[in-house]
Structure 1
């Protein structure tokens, strides 16, 4: 593949939606270059590149084609690089329905973790600036007193919406517990985008060892400690098992700082 046709994946290191697409590309063996963005600094580039009035990641680009939002990226990858083994045609409707239900709690998971996580300023800043350039790091660290309340407002990080998020997460964890009684995989006898989505979106709660951020002892203690509510859940153990069996080392090639 020539450089002009190389696939570029724009991510934020802590984003579980980014992890979903990164995992999908790795699993399907689709070559890509990852560009790691710095939170807050990422907003204008993603707004301009996405062309949808959104500042979210992940976003993929190949040549002049840009696709933002993880389910739209999955659809585009299937069209451009398919058939994909993670999207078997015979079970497609069921797989996509499960993808939707776990995509729907992604913001809730982030909201749920950030409420207690923001009490640990040093950890948040270290994660946010992992791939920052020196000037980006200075801006984020100096601007944190302004960035934090704006971030909390945008993501609705408050007790009311966190309580709602907890209820919705709990409902999906219970659904997953019932589903995995039928077999190891959510649909059929092999890994699909249904499994990748569920595992990725719940990974910040399950803290699989394979993830370079979620798997650290500091993240588990300071941000994911609230997930003790589901400490004995077979669903979160399933997430860890799926990571152990199928994910492998994340960032075998470290991302470029965007």
Structure 2
């Protein structure tokens, strides 16, 4: 009968005999089946995701952007400048012809026709001072259309001015008297308009008178107009009438 100590020695020697080298251990214990069974498998996160039932499309909301170049502010500024029209007061320093030319462009730009009252209304709004006072004295009938206010090309007013000036020079009259005689020779309402403008000289008075004539503000044609050759009894400038 063997003792316990001898059994342990026998077992140890048997183990040493069975697995004397590492290759023997691998061949006996680490078999393919053993390795496959004890292999640590990594968790596949994609396998845990549920299979989508139907595909979904992500819609992108696009914003329609204006790709056109920005409008130039210069063109707007130019148009805004064209849309404005200066006012006219009828004073000696005001240029009536320049105002009328500018107002003509203003009316064309805003499509103001001669046959309606819009052009007359716009003309009214651009008058102030003596010119506005003069306009307010016109009859309502003359304000119904622009046609009566149109410029009438006539040399009669210029002729009257020239003859007054010539006669004043011949008689050596002072400028203020020549100016007074010129205004007195005008029709009453036209003379009122010229006086309201307080012309500084004869040239300024002619400008104001032409403004009144341009707007059709004439009560009558020339009466007692001066002839080319002065009459015998016409010894003073006061005999010259318009």
Do Structure 1 and Structure 2 share a fold, with TM-score over 0.5? no
TM-score, length-scaled by structure 2: 0.24
Q: What is the TM-score when the length of structure 1 is the normalising length?
A: 0.23
Between Structure 1 and Structure 2, the one with more helix by share is: 1
Higher RCO (CA < 8 A, seq sep 6+): 1
Q: Which has the larger radius of gyration?
A: 2
